[in-house]
Structure 1
Amino acid sequence: MMWLMWHMWVLLALSALLGGVIGWILRGARPEGTLRLPPREKPVAADPVPAAEPAKPMSSPEPAKPETVRPAPVAAKTGADATAGPDDLTRIKGLGPKAESTLAEAGVFHFRQIAAWSAADIEKYDALLNARGRIVRDNWVGQAKELAKG
């Protein structure tokens, strides 16, 4: 029995070693970002060398401006809604504080906005929240319609 266990350890060590060698070969045995180039050959004296052009001053490229993400515009507030702040979206079953903050970043603050979602909006926000179908399963649109009334 002991011989069998010792034999299995030897096979395990050999397979690990073989895997390391294969990985080293496939990776190319060099750190990321390095490029192997063949050594340059020196030009033969018989080859004509073209005259070098004078160096032109290089202009530095403009740095790329980061794109700013702006929340979607919210419809104008009227009446009692104008004085009220954002709704507590966590009252919708299945919508937690993290999802509420993500929706706020996307410009969704009120039940009436969720109540007006179309099928395309549901797909968009399902992907944004990584909800995996929870919006439809928990009927967020229906719950939002009820909460928007009262």
Structure 2
Amino acid sequence: MSNQNFSPSPLAGLSPEALEEAIALAGAGKAPPRSRRRANPDELLLIDGVGPKNKAWLNEQGIYYFYQIATMNIDQVAWLSKNLPTFGARVYRENWVAQCTNLARGEPAR
């Protein structure tokens, strides 16, 4: 269920290094709002760096759609990178916000 009607986060335009620095400054961050699963959740495995274990964890956190990650602020991205059970650094190294912005628009992740 891509959602082309969203305002992407300005974090999508940051380099991995700049995003890593912003995350470090954000501290522990803050959990994103939970969403209820509706029909046709997005296939989060299309995000580079998301495997079955991380997909299941994202779903447990109420994250089912690309636009949810694409619209995250720095506190939410910091929380995500620090709480993801495996390879939390991939959130900024792979810039999930940028990937999800593209995927939510119906474009390739990169």
Q: Which runs of 5+ in 2 are unaligned?
A: 1-32
Quick one: distance in 2 between partners of 1:140 and 1:102? Answer: 15
2:73 aligned residue:
118
CA-CA distance at 1:73 after TM superposition: 3.7
Structure 1 stretches of at least 4 aligned residues deviating more than 4 Å after TM superposition: none
CA-CA distance at 1:139 after TM superposition: 0.9
Instruction: Determine if contact 2:34/2:63 at 8 Å carries over to the other structure.
Output: no
Match of 1:92 among 24, 47, 55: 47
Q: Which has the larger radius of gyration?
A: 1
**RMSD of aligned Cα (Å):** 2.0
1:44 aligned residue:
none
Match of 1:147 among 96, 103, 107: 103
Please give the secondary structure, in 1, of the residue aligned with 2:48.
coil
CA-CA distance at 1:97 after TM superposition: 1.0
**TM-score, structure 1 as length reference:** 0.44
Quick one: distance in 2 between partners of 1:91 and 1:132? Answer: 17
Q: Could you say if the C-alpha distance between residues 102 and 91 of structure 1 is closer, same or farther in structure 2, counting changes exceeding 3 Å?
A: same
**Which of the pair has the greater relative contact order for Cα pairs under 8 Å at 6+ separation?**
2
Q: Does 1:134 align with 2:95?
A: no
Identity of aligned residues (%): 36
Q: Does 1:74 align with 2:35?
A: yes
1:55 aligned residue:
none
CA-CA distance at 1:132 after TM superposition: 3.8
Amino acid across the alignment from 1:74: S
Please give the secondary structure, in 2, of the residue aligned with 1:103.
helix
* Cα displacement string for residues 114-133 of structure 1 (whole angstroms, at most 9, x for unaligned residues): 10111111111112214342
Please give the secondary structure, in 2, of the residue aligned with 1:101.
helix
CA-CA distance at 1:104 after TM superposition: 0.3
Q: Could you say if the C-alpha distance between residues 136 and 148 of structure 1 is closer, same or farther in structure 2, counting changes exceeding 3 Å?
A: same
The number of residue pairs the alignment matches comes to: 73
1:101 aligned residue:
56
